[in-house]
Chains A and B, each alone.
Chain A
Amino acid sequence: MSPLESLREALRLLRAQPLRSLLTLFGLVWGTAAVIFLLSWGAGLQTMLDTAFQRAGKNLVQTWPGRISEDFSPAVDRRWLWYTPADVAALRARVRESDLVGAEARTYAPASFRGRAFSMEVRGVDPESQAIRDVPLASGRLVSRADVEHRRRVLVVGHRARERLLGADGRLGSWVRLDGTPFRVVGVLERVGTQLSRDGEEIDDQLWVPLSVHLALWPNPWLDEPMLSTIFARAKDRKRIDEAKRELRRVLAERLGVPPDDEEAVPIFSPVEMLERLPVDQQNGLYLLIALTTLLVGGIGILAMMLDSVQERRAEIGVRLALGARRRDVLLQFLWEGVAIVALGGALGVALGAGGALFLASGAFRGRIPAALRDLVPVPELSAGVVLLSVLAMGAVALAAGLVPAWRAARIDPAETLRVE
């Protein structure tokens, strides 16, 4: 008997009792759909977190002023430390694990434009720090090296800051007052979106001015040298974040005169590290486990249905054997029936799971999510690998659910089933 005939036979079996077939197939359909959907969702979640954590800069390693730890020095020496532009210059000359080192100074200042006034976060930036942030421009330009050198009073505005402060009238070339000092708007940033890791306001709410201007206009009143709020670096290799951190700390500790492993004196933070501490993999593992369990339950349903069918069709099997069917023919018939049923359920499941994933990724759905939340809802990522995995899992289920009943069917004694008692 050819596979095609077996397939036809299998479809006949499904049609004979549509409700039972539907209920049995449901487990399999749902299991397959769950595998595909949950794995796609998990991949999307990973990407979403990755993006949301790295919106402040890719492979970012960040340090801010700390103080000497109690463990290493007598109490009298426990003083606050600070970073200066000279530290940045030293780092740029000496670090190997990072390709960029930048610095920022931060303050809140009253910002006013044509009668609107807000307290906003103003950051002094340099070309390197902007390169690390890597925010695309909506219009105009970023703060240039010349701006920093000549202390030009120029301003780059974040996406939401532009909406709030400049409104409809503001444009490139407008003048904004920060703490009373006029700044000319030279650039507007693209929207960055929700940052799951940030230092202060989100970039969308920030105003950027040249670092030199910031240090001059808003100096630390307690110091007679310029003080930076943050130094940050971009690690060359995401997998070598630890090495990049260690190197940064070693150089800074040497310049500050503290032990090279004093984490309180030189506190360093990286979003990637934090991201890796999130149990995303475990969660995806759990998803996979749940999905595969569902598939297994579906497979057991098929197995029960097939066993039932063998029991019900003992007489039929006996007749087929009497008419010249070999045991192999009977085995193959039931095996193919199992495979056909699983293939049918699997195809429906793939369609359902992939359809669900594609729908959640579609513009029609994304458009309905409130803008504030959109960055935090994963976009399911349907991949060939995911589909392949589910097909493989299904194949295993099909084999198991088809083989046992087929084996039973092939072992039926024709004389026994044909005997009329």
Chain B
Amino acid sequence: MSAGDAAPAAIRLAGVHKRYEVGQSAVHALRGIDLEIARGEYVSVMGPSGSGKSTLLEILGCLSRPSAGRYWLDGTAVDAVDADGLARLRGEAIGFVFQAFNLLPRLTLLENVALPLLYRGVPRRARHERALGALARVSLEHRAAHRPGEVSGGERQRAAIARALVNRPKLLLADEPTGNLDSAHGREILTLLEGIYADGATVVIVTHDPGIGARMPRRIAIRDGEIESDRQEAR
């Protein structure tokens, strides 16, 4: 798919670099990434630790801006968007799933799932209903009133996925979503993510587990901040 097509790509990166400073030394995490991901693609980003794959995910998720290069999210040039606009993009267009789940421990699962709606200004009652719906989608409605500490790791990650889905994002970003889970729970999570992909959302999963990558139609490998390979399997 090229920029000339009627529908813009879900993600387009052109010459993206990312440098940041850790203490005294500067890290050059991304060194000129050019990447296009079409809408509704199911993509894995793989690479060893320190390869820059998490940094790539941060940029895709509008959590940080590239040091150089440009990024279009669904046709929108992200570098032209102000801080509040980025917050809106994160809240409305993007769903995050983290390795460490990152549920807020003092909130119930329902409240956790409702958080993105809170920042969108959805009224309380509607928030409640939609969050419950999202929990039902991951078969957790019976745990709605529990706190994250009271449920299993797999359930926590399912709740995190419900939270990522509650705003019906066009792009779902998952950073090692199965990294903290045993294989049975990990498979459960992958099945869920595949379901989301089947519903038409673009899904990008960062992982270093080749077993997960093998399940995905498009596999991007990153090494030392550069794209090493980009394989697409015919469907």
Pick the contact of A12 from B88, B91, B106 — CB < 8 Å?
Answer: B106
Q: How many residues of A contact B (CB 8 A)?
A: 24
Residue among B61, B84, B100, B118 making CB contact with A322, cutoff 8 Å: B61
- Contact at B96–A323, with CB atoms within 8 Å? yes
B81 to chain A, nearest CB (A): 12
Query: Contacts A322-B96, A324-B116; is A415 near B91 (CB within 8 Å)?
Result: no
How far, in whole Å, are A1 and B115 apart by their CA atoms in the complex?
10
Question: Looking across the interface, which residue of chain A has its beta carbon closest to that of B61?
Answer: A322
The secondary-structure label for the interface of chain A is helix
Known: A415-B58, A419-B54. A324 touches B87 (CB 8 A): yes
Q: How far is the CA of A418 from the CA of B90 in the complex (A)?
A: 14
Contact A326 B87, beta carbon cutoff 8 Å: yes
**Between-chain CB contacts (< 8 Å), 5 pairs:** A12-B106, A315-B102, A319-B115, A322-B61, A418-B102
Cα separation A5 to B107 with both chains bound (whole Å): 12
With both chains docked as a complex, state the minimum distance between the C-beta of B28 and any C-beta of chain A, in angstroms.
16
Q: State in angstroms the CA–CA spacing of A319 and B106 once bound together.
A: 13
Q: B126 within 8 Å of A by Cβ?
A: no
Among candidates A12, A316, A325, residue contacting B87 with C-beta atoms closer than 8 Å: A325
B153 to chain A minimum Cβ distance, whole angstroms, is 15
**Is A414 part of the contact surface with B, judged by Cβ < 8 Å?**
yes
A window 321-354: CB within 8 A of B: 321-329
User: Is B96's CB under 8 angstroms from A5's CB?
Assistant: no
Give B101 Cβ to nearest chain A Cβ, in Å: 10
Knowing A413-B64, A415-B58, A415-B64 are in contact, say whether A326-B104 is a contact too (CB < 8 A): no
> Are A327 and B87 closer than 8 Å at their CB atoms?
yes
Given A418-B102, A419-B54, A420-B99, verify A326-B118 contact (CB < 8 Å).
Answer: no
Contact with B along A399-421 (1 / 0, CB 8 A): 00000000000000111001110
Number of contacts between A and B (CB, 8 Å)?
71
B115 in complex: contacting residue of A16, A320, A418, CB < 8 Å: A320
* B73 CB, nearest partner CB in chain A, Å: 14
> Do the beta carbons of A324 and B90 come within 8 Å of each other?
yes
Q: How far is the CA of A329 from the CA of B84 in the complex (A)?
A: 10
Determine whether B175 belongs to the interface, using a CB cutoff of 8 Å to chain A.
yes
Measured CB to CB, the closest approach of chain A to B96, in angstroms, equals: 5
On chain A, the residues within 8 Å of B64 by CB distance are 413-415
Q: How far is the CA of A1 from the CA of B117 in the complex (A)?
A: 10
Q: Is the CB of A16 within 8 A of B176?
A: no
Contact across chains for A321 and B104 when beta carbons are under 8 A apart: no
Q: Report yes or no: A323 in contact with B58, Cβ–Cβ below 8 A.
A: no
Distance between A243 CB and nearest chain B CB, rounded to angstroms: 69
Contact residues in A for B179 (Cβ distance below 8 Å) = 420
Partner of A420, one of B83, B104, B116, B175: B175
Determine whether B42 belongs to the interface, using a CB cutoff of 8 Å to chain A.
no
Identify which of residues 300-322 in chain A touch chain B, using a CB-to-CB cut-off of 8 Å: 315-316, 318-322
Residues of B within 8 A of A328 (CB): 84
With both beta carbons as reference points, the residue of chain B lying nearest to A9 in the complex is identified as B106
Query: Across the interface, which residues of A come within 8 angstroms of B87, CB to CB?
Result: 321, 324-327, 329
Q: Which of A1, A320, A324 has most chain B Cβ within 10 Å?
A: A324
Which B residues touch A327, using CB under 8 A?
Answer: 83-84, 87
Q: Given contact pairs A319-B102, A324-B91, enumerate 12 new A-B contacts (beta carbons under 8 Å).
A: A1-B119, A318-B102, A320-B104, A322-B90, A322-B102, A323-B115, A325-B91, A326-B83, A414-B63, A415-B64, A419-B58, A420-B100
A318: chain B residues at CB < 8 Å are: 102
Q: Which residues of chain A are near B156, meaning CB under 8 Å?
A: none
Q: B98 interface residue, CB < 8 Å from A?
A: yes
CA distance A12 to B116 in the complex (A): 20
**Contacting pair B63 A415 (CB below 8 A):** yes
CA distance A15 to B88 in the complex (A): 32
Please indicate the chain A residues that have their CB under 8 angstroms from the CB of B175 in the complex. 420
Q: B134 → chain A, closest Cβ, in Å?
A: 13
6 pairs of A and B residues whose beta carbons are closest in the complex: A324-B91, A415-B64, A324-B119, A326-B87, A415-B63, A415-B58
Interchain nearest-CB distance for B57 vs A (Å): 9
Is A324 in contact with B58, judged by CB distance below 8 angstroms?
no
Q: Mark A109-125, 1 if CB is under 8 A from B, else 0.
A: 00000000000000000
In the bound complex, how far is the Cα of B100 from the Cα of A319, in angstroms? 11
Over the window 84-126 of chain B, the binary record of Cβ atoms lying under 8 Å from chain A Cβ atoms (1 yes, 0 no) is: 1001101110001011101010100000000110111000000
Decide if A420 touches B176 in the complex (CB within 8 Å).
yes
A200 → chain B closest CB, angstroms: 74
Q: Are A5 and B118 in contact (CB under 8 A)?
A: yes
Across the interface, do A418 and B116 meet the contact criterion of CB distance under 8 Å? no
Cβ of A324 and Cβ of B92 under 8 Å apart?
yes
Residues from chain B with Cβ under 8 Å of A419 in the complex: 54, 58
Given contacts A16-B106, A315-B102, A418-B102, contact A322 B63 (CB under 8 A): yes
Partner of A418, one of B63, B84, B119, B163: B63
- Nearest Cβ in chain A — how far from B144, in angstroms? 18
Q: How far is the CB of B27 from chain A (nearest CB, A)?
A: 12
State A277–B11 Cα separation when bound (angstroms). Answer: 82
